[in-house]
Amino acid sequence: MAFFRSVSALSKLRSRVGQQTGLSNSVRWLQTQTSHNTDLKSELQELIPEYQERVKKLKKDYGKVELGNTTVDMVIGGMRGMTALLWLGSAVDPEEGIRFRGMSIPECQKALPTAIPGGEPLPEGILWLLLTGKIPSKEQVDSLSQELRSRATVPGFAYKAIDALPVSAHPMTQFATGVMALQVESEFQKAHQSGIHKTKYWEPTYEDCMNLIARVPAVAAYVYRRIYKDGKIIPMDDSLDYGANYSHMLGFDDPQMLEFMRLYITIHSDHEGGNVSSHTAHLVASPLSDPYLAFAAALNGLAGPLHGLANQEVLRWIRAVVAHFGTPHINEEQLKDYILKTLNSGQVVPGFGHGVLRKTDPRYTCQREFALKHLPDDPLFLLVSKLKDIVPPILTQLGKVKNPWPNVDAHSGVLLNYYGLTEENYFTVLFGVSRSFGVGPQLIWDRALGMPLERPKSVTLERLEELCAKAGSS
Ligand code: AMX
């Protein structure tokens, strides 16, 4: 009872803080939570005991509270709608979309520090927010930028591991291979072998996650330059923030592209815990596999066309439409015919639909706003805009698609293409770099909270039929 009393006192306090400032409750609450600590690890260290207490209390006093029943649909339907994971960083509401620690994308755009006045959030800010639940100051974000730069040196053998693959290997294969090679330097693995006490697990996990986040842009940029730019590598620039540096190492220094990259990483960072890549990382890390092993596995899930690879597929599909009609200026009837042709050949329309969302993805909307501001006349953007109106009614008519609206991947490709990053096979690597920002913080919390090995129960087909027959006859 005391627990519920304190929750209700907490929401009253949040609401009171809110009324005073005119901002939404979640942001107002987070703003009251800011601190002056510029060292992220120390900040986290202070928070851990409180979170541990909260989880301990849930386990002890409320372990048997039901969160919903498991149905046959869930077992044979990819566990849709089954609440089965604890994920601190973000939550996806079917109607409203993502909230990072309670904050919507527009709220993050307003509250998180930027590189230029009125610009897009710096990815370091979302990392701080996801890990601590607090809105960082510019000083804190700058300090984190510096910390990430100081950890960014990639060992030569990681590049050699990538070089062992044919240049024709898919960029995601090359990227995941590079990440696997980084595992050789895992602090967690070393500490575990030396017999570290389990209450300290989070510390080497923190080191691994921060090193991983710091190093993936260089690995990812290496893959890009190796495949598409004759292996001419561009070194990191010590004066740049994380997003700008990644763009710079890829070879794109247009200030607008740097802004898009900051926004891209921020919005692709996390999407609660049940999506394939995030869930995979959490699952693989649960038997104490280190963060590199977990993140490489997550990348392999992200590389599926129904998940992260969809952003590659969207641009490929759009290019095929343009090639088919010989122009990007295509009328509604022609587009409808092409969409039906795609569906009739047993394929999905990439960039539409979602496992959880039931409205347009706010990550799509914010990219559309970026495009309206910076490239309103781009022919491919205009085509993407037409598709957002034409595709949903067609998918709805199929009668089976639960969410006919555009998702995050429907938009990113045309923006990247506009700024010169035209090689669509590379797009999922950008998604992967961003996803390290969501996966890393959760893995640190998994170890800090002593999360156990993940081991759900499965059922055989015969047993399922037996249970259903029993339920049917009663
Ligand atoms: N085009 C055609 N058919 C679609 C469709 C689309 N965009 N979205 C869903 N459907 C179909 C499904 O294939 C399924 O058909 P089936 O019963 O014959 O197998 C039926 O509609 C029901 O599916 P659902 O319950 O609405 O979706 P889901 O939760 O099973 O799958 C998703 C979600 C994203 C895989 C699906 O909408 C899809 O394939 N979309 C296109 C690929 C895509 O854009 N993926 C990116 C998602 C975001 C991300 O993870 N990055």
Return the CATH number at 329: 1.10.230.10
Ramachandran quadrant class, 22 (left: phi over 0; alpha: psi -120 to 50; beta: rest) = left
* Cα three-residue angle 307-423-237, rounded to 5 degrees: 100
Q: State which amino acid sits at residue 184.
A: V
**Which of the four pLDDT bands, split at 50, 70 and 90, describes residue 104?**
very high
**What's the token pair of residue 385?**
């805009």
What is the per-residue DSSP string for 258-305?
Answer: HHHHHHHHHHHS---S-SHHHHHHHHHHTTT--HHHHHHHHHHHHTST
Return the CATH number at 204: 1.10.580.10
**Which of the four pLDDT bands, split at 50, 70 and 90, describes residue 26?**
low
Per-residue pLDDT tens digits for 271-297:
999 999 999 999 999 999 999 999 999
Query: Which percentage of the chain shows pLDDT scores above 90?
Result: 91
In-domain check, residue 473 = no
Per-residue pLDDT tens digits for 46-70:
999 999 999 999 999 999 999 999 9
Cα Rg, the chain, nearest whole Å: 23
**Same domain, residue pair 339 and 324:** yes
**Which of the four pLDDT bands, split at 50, 70 and 90, describes residue 32?**
low
Contact 306, 352 (CB under 8 A): no
Kindly tell me if the per-residue pLDDT of 21 is higher than 50: no
The predicted pLDDT at position 282 comes to 98
Tokens 């979302």, located at residue: 126
**Same domain, residue pair 387 and 240:** no
Kindly tell me if the per-residue pLDDT of 11 is higher than 70: no
* Cα three-residue angle 409-347-269, rounded to 5 degrees: 20
In-domain check, residue 290 = yes
**Same domain, residue pair 390 and 356:** yes
- Count: domains in the chain: 2
The residues annotated with a catalytic role in the active site are 307, 354, 409
Q: Rounded distance, CA 221 to CA 16, Å?
A: 47
- Give the ranges where 345-378 is alpha helix by DSSP (H): 362-374
Q: What share of the chain is helix, strand, coil (3-state, %, to 5)?
A: 65, 5, 35
The predicted pLDDT at position 24 comes to 66
Average pLDDT taken over every residue of the chain: 94
List the end-to-end C-alpha distance of the chain, in Å, as a whole number.
Answer: 37
**Which of the four pLDDT bands, split at 50, 70 and 90, describes residue 25?**
low
- Measured in Å, residue 348 CA sits from the centre of ligand 1 at 7
The predicted pLDDT at position 20 comes to 47
- Closest C-alpha to 415, from 383, 392, 437, 391: 383
Per-residue pLDDT tens digits for 148-194:
999 999 999 999 999 999 999 999 999 999 999 999 999 999 999 99
The predicted pLDDT at position 36 comes to 77
**Same domain, residue pair 375 and 254:** no
Q: State which amino acid sits at residue 198.
A: K
Kindly tell me if the per-residue pLDDT of 205 is higher than 70: yes
Instruction: Tell the residue nearest (CA) to atom 45 of ligand 1.
Output: 306
**Same domain, residue pair 221 and 332:** no
- Measured in Å, residue 416 CA sits from the centre of ligand 1 at 24
Residue 99 sits at φ, ψ, to 5 deg, of -130, 125
- Closest C-alpha to 310, from 172, 203, 124, 119: 172
DSSP assignment letter at 169 = S
In-domain check, residue 195 = yes
The predicted pLDDT at position 47 comes to 96
In-domain check, residue 23 = no
In-domain check, residue 98 = no
- Measured in Å, residue 321 CA sits from the centre of ligand 1 at 20
The predicted pLDDT at position 29 comes to 61
Q: Rounded distance, CA 52 to CA 453, Å?
A: 17
**Same domain, residue pair 280 and 352:** no
Q: Rounded distance, CA 181 to CA 177, Å?
A: 6
Q: Rounded distance, CA 200 to CA 450, Å?
A: 10
Rounded average pLDDT over 448-453: 98
**Same domain, residue pair 357 and 407:** yes
Per-residue pLDDT tens digits for 350-399:
999 999 999 999 999 999 999 999 999 999 999 999 999 999 999 999 99
Pairing of strands 97-100, 90-93: antiparallel
The predicted pLDDT at position 9 comes to 47
In-domain check, residue 160 = yes
- Measured in Å, residue 270 CA sits from the centre of ligand 1 at 20
Kindly tell me if the per-residue pLDDT of 8 is higher than 60: no
Tokens 């709608």, located at residue: 81
Rounded average pLDDT over 125-152: 97
- Closest C-alpha to 440, from 140, 148, 84, 26: 148
**Same domain, residue pair 162 and 272:** yes
Q: Which atom of ligand 1 is nearest to the CA of 351?
A: 44
**Same domain, residue pair 359 and 240:** no
Best of 269, 342, 348 for a ligand 1 pocket test (most atoms within 8 Å of beta carbon): 348
**What's the token pair of residue 210?**
């921060």
Dihedral sign of CA atoms 31, 33, 39, 41 in order: negative
The predicted pLDDT at position 35 comes to 73
Contact 218, 236 (CB under 8 A): yes
Q: Rounded distance, CA 310 to CA 347, Å?
A: 12
Residue 121 sits at φ, ψ, to 5 deg, of -65, 145
**Ligand 1 site, CB within 6 A:** 275, 306-308, 310, 343, 348-355, 395, 400-403, 407-409
In-domain check, residue 397 = yes
What is the per-residue DSSP string for 335-352?
Answer: HHHHHHHHHHTT---TTB
The predicted pLDDT at position 2 comes to 43
Instruction: Tell the residue nearest (CA) to atom 38 of ligand 1.
Output: 353
State the CB neighbour count (10 A cutoff) for residue 246.
Answer: 27
**Which of the four pLDDT bands, split at 50, 70 and 90, describes residue 321?**
very high
Kindly tell me if the per-residue pLDDT of 18 is higher than 60: no
The predicted pLDDT at position 3 comes to 44
- Closest C-alpha to 130, from 8, 265, 21: 265
**Same domain, residue pair 289 and 385:** no
Q: Rounded distance, CA 170 to CA 173, Å?
A: 5
In-domain check, residue 73 = no
Kindly tell me if the per-residue pLDDT of 236 is higher than 80: yes
Largest CA distance in the chain: 71
**What's the token pair of residue 140?**
């804190």
**Same domain, residue pair 188 and 222:** yes
b or e along 349-368 (b: 16 or more beta carbons within 10 Å of the residue's beta carbon)?
Answer: bbbbbbbbbeebbbbbbbbb
**Same domain, residue pair 299 and 355:** no
Rounded average pLDDT over 74-78: 97
Kindly tell me if the per-residue pLDDT of 317 is higher than 70: yes
Q: Which atom of ligand 1 is nearest to the CA of 355?
A: 29
Q: In terms of residue numbers, what domain contains 317?
A: 310-418
* Cα three-residue angle 425-427-433, rounded to 5 degrees: 130
Rounded average pLDDT over 329-348: 97
